[in-house]
Amino acid sequence: MKTLQSLDYLVFIFYFVIVTGYGYWVYKRKQESSGSASHDYFLAEGSLTWWAIGASLIASNISAEQFIGMSGEGFFVGTAVAAYEWIAALALIIIAVWFIPIYLKNKIYTMPQFLKTRYNDSVALIMAVFWLFLYIFVNFTSILYLGAFAIDGLLGGGYLHLVMIVLMVMALLISLGGMKVIGYTDVIQVAVLIIGGFATVYMALQIVDQRINHVASGSAIAGFNTLMSQAPDHFKMMLPKPNNTDMTAAGQLARDKFLVLPGIAMYFAGQWIVNLNYWGCNQYITQRALGAKLETARKGILFAGFIKLFMPVIVMLPGIAAYVLHSNGQLENFSGSKDGAYSAILAFLPAGLKGLAIAALTAAIVASLAGKANSISTIFTLDIYKKYLNKEADEKKMVWTGRLTIIISMAIAILFTWKDILGIGGEGGFTFIQKYTGFISPGVFAMFILGFFWKRTTAPAALVGLILGFVLAIFFNNYAINLLGNENFLYTAYLNKDGVYEIPFLINMGWSFFFTVVTMVAISMAGPKVNPKAFEIDKAMFKVSNNTLVLIIITLILLSALYIKFW
């Protein structure tokens, strides 16, 4: 595997200087204009433009989880994994039109604050702790591990721990400046990851044409056509239902793919819960829009949704390219591991472009780490420290508490990632994140969606729903098969690679959410017809401007075209 050359280091250093220099400039301007106000630090209240909000949403979302994890799923499954990106575009329309107006009208700045305002302190505190654990032990650790693993491979190996530290230091430098610094540096991060990402894809397709078709000067179009002709099964959005009686290698491969992406069934189950919960009920994401005016927030969110349509090109196609090259014996020193697919492609890139690709990968990782750190800091400081530990804390004390929280959370993440204590590398990074986030997503989304739109929902119902959603997710994942069998009207379990029956986790999420909602409705029926804490909803809140409507229509047309093409 080719290692980095001098030009690659120069390109990467240039990226590092630009991002940190711009971040410092934004930080100094912020200090001069607004001092140390806590809302400015945590939310950049009112200072992010629509394009900065959209760019920050994408930069925070696109990380090692996508570049490494989704590229790995592209290697393994193909375009079916693009559902996470393309359904996200549709979810963002729903959130921009119906969720954000409720947040902004009720001056909601954090997700635990939403739960306190709509339900009570107990629900808010429990969820604040839940979110902190999830962000630190699932998201933070997986982003760090996958990113360091990929970059270490490009450096020739042996630098994993050093890379971890460098990534965290870069994220620390940005996140200590607060949400405004993160938001505006994310604009550069997105530009770098998109330019570097598309450049990588273009070169990867040329390499496929050169290596497979044996031509001197490869064509990206010819390379893409080669992918479609040599891996037609990798360009299908809907995977066929596999057979448990097929004991061949092909039969097992079909089952393993279906367990990750269970065909059309996932569109009636977990896929919506994953996306609506992630984009609409997640401090890490919604925080970017909560300090803005409604029209600005909407445009930013829809801009992010538009960009999401193109993300699979950057994060998925390299994985399919790696699959075709590997199938033809063109990837040396590659074990066939999903999470190594992206690094294997980057190894082919020429000097300079490889540095740009690594800068794009680093931009994605650092932006996500910084955004996650800010969310951890915001939740702990505003929803735990200020309310329960030091109610008299002034603005300056809160900002410094937030910064200390960032440092501690980063130290914990490095500790658990140092030797991959959580086993992130074993499951595949993308699956690891989706699966374990799925344990709390059903209960959380049930609380939010009923809290938004059903005035009768009560706090006891929300508390039961939160706990029940978690318990049901564990039940379907670990115990349902032993008690209910391998197949019934709820699900079909499939033999995994270890010879054990398993239910697709997206199906688990769907049923966990369904039974949680039913239970919450039943409990709420015993309460008043209108909960005193219910939000007042005015239909005028959901009316969109003509400019916003045009963005929505363009996104829907493009999304429809993509599904028609790759169905």
CA within 13 Å, CB half, 321: 32
Q: Which residue has the higher pLDDT, 375 or 407?
A: 407
> Of 191-195, 535-539, 559-563, where does mean pLDDT reach its minimum?
191-195
> Of 103-107, 256-260, 363-367, 559-563, where does mean pLDDT reach its minimum?
363-367
Q: What is the dihedral of CA 269, 275, 278, 279, to 10 degrees?
A: -150
From the DSSP assignment, how many helices (H) and strands (E) are in the chain? 29, 2
For the cut 50, the answer to whether the pLDDT of residue 235 exceeds it is yes
Question: Into how many domains does the chain fold?
Answer: 1
> Of 274-278, 333-337, 466-470, where does mean pLDDT reach its minimum?
333-337
How far is the CA of 328 from the CAs of 318, 321, 449, in angstroms? 15, 11, 48
> Of 282-296, 423-437, 552-566, where does mean pLDDT reach its minimum?
423-437
- Whole-number Å distance between alpha carbons of 461 and 41: 34
Task: Look at residue 357 in the predicted model and tell me its pLDDT.
Answer: 74
Consecutive H or E run containing 314: helix 311-315
Average pLDDT over residues 429-439: 68
Instruction: Quote the pTM value.
Output: 0.81
- The answer as to whether 539 is a domain residue is no
| DSSP for residue 501 | E
User: Range of 104's domain?
Assistant: 50-211+268-425
For the cut 70, the answer to whether the pLDDT of residue 424 exceeds it is no
For the cut 60, the answer to whether the pLDDT of residue 292 exceeds it is yes
Task: Look at residue 35 in the predicted model and tell me its pLDDT.
Answer: 47
Task: Look at residue 371 in the predicted model and tell me its pLDDT.
Answer: 77
- The answer as to whether 3 is a domain residue is no
- The answer as to whether 243 is a domain residue is no
- The answer as to whether 398 is a domain residue is yes
> Of 53-67, 97-111, 240-254, 487-501, where does mean pLDDT reach its minimum?
53-67
Q: Which residue has the higher pLDDT, 353 or 162?
A: 162
> Of 250-264, 294-308, 425-439, where does mean pLDDT reach its minimum?
425-439
For the cut 90, the answer to whether the pLDDT of residue 213 exceeds it is no
- The answer as to whether 29 is a domain residue is no
- The answer as to whether 402 is a domain residue is yes
For the cut 80, the answer to whether the pLDDT of residue 185 exceeds it is no
Task: Look at residue 31 in the predicted model and tell me its pLDDT.
Answer: 61
Buried b (16+ CB within 10 A) or exposed e, 108-118: bbbbbbbbbeb
Average pLDDT over residues 244-256: 84
- Whole-number Å distance between alpha carbons of 320 and 331: 13
For the cut 50, the answer to whether the pLDDT of residue 1 exceeds it is no
Q: In this predicted model, what pLDDT tens digit does every residue of 16-69 receive, in sequence order?
A: 787 777 777 766 776 655 544 555 555 545 557 888 888 778 877 776 667 777
- The answer as to whether 174 is a domain residue is yes
Task: Look at residue 427 in the predicted model and tell me its pLDDT.
Answer: 53
Q: Which residues contact 314 (CB under 8 A, 6 or more apart)?
A: 62, 67, 193, 194, 197, 198, 200, 201
What CATH number is attached to the domain comprising 312?
1.20.1730.10
In 33-184, which ranges are E strands?
none
For the cut 70, the answer to whether the pLDDT of residue 295 exceeds it is yes
Name the band, by pLDDT with cuts 50, 70 and 90, for residue 385: confident
Q: Which residues contact 356 (CB under 8 A, 6 or more apart)?
A: 11, 192, 195, 196, 199
- Whole-number Å distance between alpha carbons of 439 and 37: 36
Task: Look at residue 471 in the predicted model and tell me its pLDDT.
Answer: 94
For the cut 50, the answer to whether the pLDDT of residue 91 exceeds it is yes
| Average pLDDT along the chain | 83
For the cut 60, the answer to whether the pLDDT of residue 305 exceeds it is yes
- The answer as to whether 97 is a domain residue is yes
Average pLDDT over residues 89-95: 94
Average pLDDT over residues 446-463: 94
